[in-house]
Amino acid sequence: MNQYIVNGNRPLFGEVTISGAKNAAVAIIPAALMVDGICRIENIPQISDVTLLFSILDELGAKVRVLNQHAVEIDSRHIHSTKPSFDLVRKIRASYYLIGALLGRFGQATVAMPGGCNFGVRPIDQHVKGFKALGAEVTEGNFVEAVAKSENGRLVGAPVYMDVVSVGATMNVMMAAVLAEGITTIENAAKEPHIVDLANFLNSMGADIKGAGTDSIKIRGVERLNGGTYCIIPDQIEAGTYMTAVAATGGQLLIKNIIPKHMECISAKLMEMGVYVEEIDDTLLVRRSGPLQRAKVKTQPYPGFPTDMQPQIATVMALAEGTSMVTEAVWNNRFRYVDELRRLGANIQVDGRVAVIEGIDHFTGAPIEACDLRAGAAMVVAALAAHGTTEISHVQYIERGYEDLVGKLRAVGADIRIVEVPDEDLGMENIG
């Protein structure tokens, strides 16, 4: 296991290039299982969640050929199993996309209940409701088993109304519907950039999906998906994390390879807090020289402020003048990292889904833990700004979703390094 050692209180200066979007990649890679041909996928982030998904695809019979650091070719013409092994699937939440992909193409899927970051109840009832509407029989236990009821093993298009706005359910039902007979509509669909990216990927392979990015998506089922080439969008949350890093430390970063529209909700909040943000084509210039102002934020589905930026913005607020407030409206338990921030001196009170943050002058380095992916990123942001040395443990969570975080930060002047520690020293199993 690794730890990060950070000597903080250094402003960041320079350029950072954003990698492909994790939450698009973890859907597009399973979706490649639906393609009866070879697909080439570019701009894939080098993160552990992606590596794990490649192992799952390989086990099912897909041939994954690495072309370079960020591009692969996936050949799914000879899939021999629709039951990925329990141990692999349990390590990653996004393995639920295997259900939609395998059920859609082969009319059956048996997939362990997904694992992933723990920040509250994570039901999949909306996914199941969608599969059932398309004519699948679904049983849930340690495994989710889904089988198309029709004689020819194909799902049948139908209207699906989502009771909650769910990224995962929208993408999963979209995948299942692509090869179904007839038309599926998804109402109250989520609108995140990765939903549009998955739809674009599937369309480029021959699917017929319209309306992705709105709350009403229409999918006309096709007979098969052919091969093709696709390039994944840049990661909104990775870019946002670097924006909060420079907001916390001061300095100036050019954040390259972003889609400006995706960054608006984050840029607007940081500008309100006194951070200078300028959009230059597909680059953001982010500078913080003066004091940070207090603010209020409430997480919401896109285009609202993303829950996956909540720990990072709260960390910046902990250094702002006055009292800030964060309301977490997506997940019911996403403030576990607050105890860790308090170890650095933060003054935060949590009551249910609301955190009240009294700004302090500076953090002071201490040993802390990453308790999930984005919480871990927030710990790095805090450590970069802290006076003294911070040791961050359980960084395997961070490595699930950030490509070369340490290398990218070192290149802009951060004093951060990775040290290896024996597993037993951390007193924790590797949850992945």
Catalytic positions: 117
Q: Is 125 in the site for ligand EPZ (CB under 6 A)?
A: yes
Separation CA 402–CA 371 (nearest Å): 15
On whether the CB atoms of residues 176 and 134 are closer than 8 A, the answer is: yes
Q: Is 117 in the site for ligand EPZ (CB under 6 A)?
A: yes
Cβ closer to ligand EPZ: 72 or 128?
128
Residue showing the smallest CB distance to ligand EPZ in the complex: 168
Cβ closer to ligand EPZ: 237 or 270?
237
Q: Is 167 in the site for ligand EPZ (CB under 6 A)?
A: yes
Among the listed residues 130, 142, 213, the one whose alpha carbon sits nearest the alpha carbon of residue 177: 130
On whether the CB atoms of residues 152 and 194 are closer than 8 A, the answer is: no
The residue from 3, 9, 126, 244 that contacts ligand EPZ (CB under 6 A) is 126
Separation CA 377–CA 235 (nearest Å): 14
Cβ closer to ligand EPZ: 110 or 166?
166
Cβ closer to ligand EPZ: 237 or 254?
237
Cβ closer to ligand EPZ: 94 or 273?
94
Cβ closer to ligand EPZ: 169 or 178?
169
User: Pairing mode, if any, of strands 136-140 and 143-148?
Assistant: antiparallel
Cβ closer to ligand EPZ: 104 or 401?
401
| Binders in 14-43 for ligand EPZ, by CB under 6 A | 22-23, 26
Q: Is 164 in the site for ligand EPZ (CB under 6 A)?
A: yes
Separation CA 89–CA 248 (nearest Å): 36
The residue from 219, 277, 373, 382 that contacts ligand EPZ (CB under 6 A) is 373
Q: Is 122 in the site for ligand EPZ (CB under 6 A)?
A: yes
**Residues 212-251: x/- map of binding to ligand EPZ (CB under 6 A)?**
----------------------------------------
Nearest-approach distance from CB 384 to ligand EPZ, in angstroms? 20
Nearest-approach distance from CB 114 to ligand EPZ, in angstroms? 8
Nearest-approach distance from CB 225 to ligand EPZ, in angstroms? 21
Nearest-approach distance from CB 105 to ligand EPZ, in angstroms? 21
The residue from 9, 166, 324, 396 that contacts ligand EPZ (CB under 6 A) is 166
The 3 state secondary structure assigned to the chain is: CEEEEEECCCCEEEEEECCECHHHHHHHHHHHHHECCEEEEECCCCCHHHHHHHHHHHHHCCEEEEEECCEEEEECCCCCCCCCCHHHHCCCHHHHHHHHHHHHHHCEEEEECCCCCCCCCCCCHHHHHHHHHCCEEEEECCEEEEEECCCCCCCECCEEECCCCCHHHHHHHHHHHHCCECEEEEECCCCCHHHHHHHHHHHHCCCEEECECECEEEEECCCCECCEEEECCECHHHHHHHHHHHHHHCEEEEEECCCHHHHHHHHHHHHHCCCEEEEECCEEEEEECCCCECCEEEECCCCCECHHHHHHHHHHHCCCECEEEEECCCCCCCCCCHHHHHHCCCEEEEECCEEEEECCCCCECCEEECCCHHHHHHHHHHHHHCECEEEEECCHHHHCCCCCHHHHHHCCCCEEEEEECCHHHHCCCCCC
Q: Is 159 in the site for ligand EPZ (CB under 6 A)?
A: no
Which amino acid is present at 183? I
Stretch that binds ligand EPZ, among 51-59, 117-125, 264-272, 278-286 (CB under 6 A): 117-125
**Residues 46-75: x/- map of binding to ligand EPZ (CB under 6 A)?**
------------------------------
| Binders in 300-319 for ligand EPZ, by CB under 6 A | 307-308
The residue from 102, 189, 209, 330 that contacts ligand EPZ (CB under 6 A) is 330
Cβ closer to ligand EPZ: 189 or 254?
189
Nearest-approach distance from CB 238 to ligand EPZ, in angstroms? 10
Cβ closer to ligand EPZ: 126 or 390?
126
On whether the CB atoms of residues 198 and 32 are closer than 8 A, the answer is: no
Half-sphere exposure of 266 (CA within 13 A, CB side): 32
Stretch that binds ligand EPZ, among 116-124, 149-157, 226-234, 246-254 (CB under 6 A): 116-124
Separation CA 160–CA 185 (nearest Å): 6
The residue from 127, 191, 262, 287 that contacts ligand EPZ (CB under 6 A) is 127
Stretch that binds ligand EPZ, among 119-127, 148-156, 176-184, 420-428 (CB under 6 A): 119-127
Nearest-approach distance from CB 95 to ligand EPZ, in angstroms? 9
Applying CB under 6 A, the residues found at the interface with ligand EPZ are 22-23, 26, 93-94, 117, 121-127, 164, 166-169, 190, 307-308, 330-331, 373-374, 401
